[in-house]
Amino acid sequence: MAIKVTTPLSREDARKLKSGDSVLLSGVIYTARDAAHKRLCELVAEGKELPLDVKDAVIYFVGPTPAKPGQAIGSAGPTTAYRMDAYSPTLIREGLTGMIGKGKRGPEVIEAMKECGCVYFGAIGGAGALLSSCVKKAEIIAYEDLGAEAIRRLEITGIVDEPWHFRYVGTEVSLDMKDSGLCLEEYLGAESATFEKAKALLLEDKYTAHEIMIRCGMKDLPTFYHGFAKRYGSTPTKYKQENLKKNKQEKSLYICIINNYNLLFLHCLHHLHNMDYYSHI
């Protein structure tokens, strides 16, 4: 059973979490990678105020891609956490209680976590698009000059409604679908096969896009169109029209070549017949 946690994350709540717990996180978190961490630690060393309050805060190690229209944020997969190892102990001692990333942490970070009451959440690498769907609002609050590595304030929610859960086996973690039990890699492979089947059916010119969607086991037409366009660069309808037109042109060219060949063959026969005629004169 996953544990629901809402930020801010107090030290007391952080200490309640155990290694291997599945956590559904919601509330406000912040993004920062090594360049931003370096600047924050320099401010701490100089005794200056930070651009965000790290007390009871959670920082996600991520540099998201640009958001597409209608999205709060682009793909937001985790950064390898060891890049922040030189800076994390300083921020933990300033009050940071949560970090999100991928990969192992160094002994200095682990010691600071034990000492101060901080937790490190493991995110799934390669699932950036899925993770970004949980972000409902994003705004840059510091270091805009760093681009993707600027510090952002994220509002995350709705994770409970996602059809996925984290599964731990020893020290390994995978992302599984709740309904089918497929892991992420298996799901993506099955999804790819589904769209390949749809592409083949479109070229048969027997079914509408809606009929093909149903035959491929999908239920939502906009999702089908979006997924197809993302893989093949055009909607199912446009893909069908373009390829049927291309096949028709290739077929016409083939017929034209055959007809020209027949004409040439007949001309050669006629020429040979004349040669045979003149040879008997």
Annotated catalytic residues are 37
Task: Please calculate the CA angle 5-10-14 and round it to the nearest 5 degrees.
Answer: 65
CB 40 within 8 A of CB 87: yes
- Contact assessment for residue 216 and residue 198, using Cβ atoms and an 8 Å cutoff: yes
By the 8 A CB rule, do 78 and 97 touch? no
Q: What is the CA radius of gyration of the chain?
A: 30
Phi and psi torsions of 278, nearest 5°: -70, -25
Do 113 and 85 meet the contact criterion of CB atoms below 8 Å apart? no
Question: Hey, CA dihedral for 104, 177, 9, 158, is it positive or negative?
Answer: positive
Beta strands in 55-187 (DSSP E): 58-60, 98-101, 119-122, 135-142, 151-156, 164-169, 172-177
Instruction: Centre a 10 Å sphere on the Cβ of residue 203 and count the other Cβ atoms it contains.
Output: 12
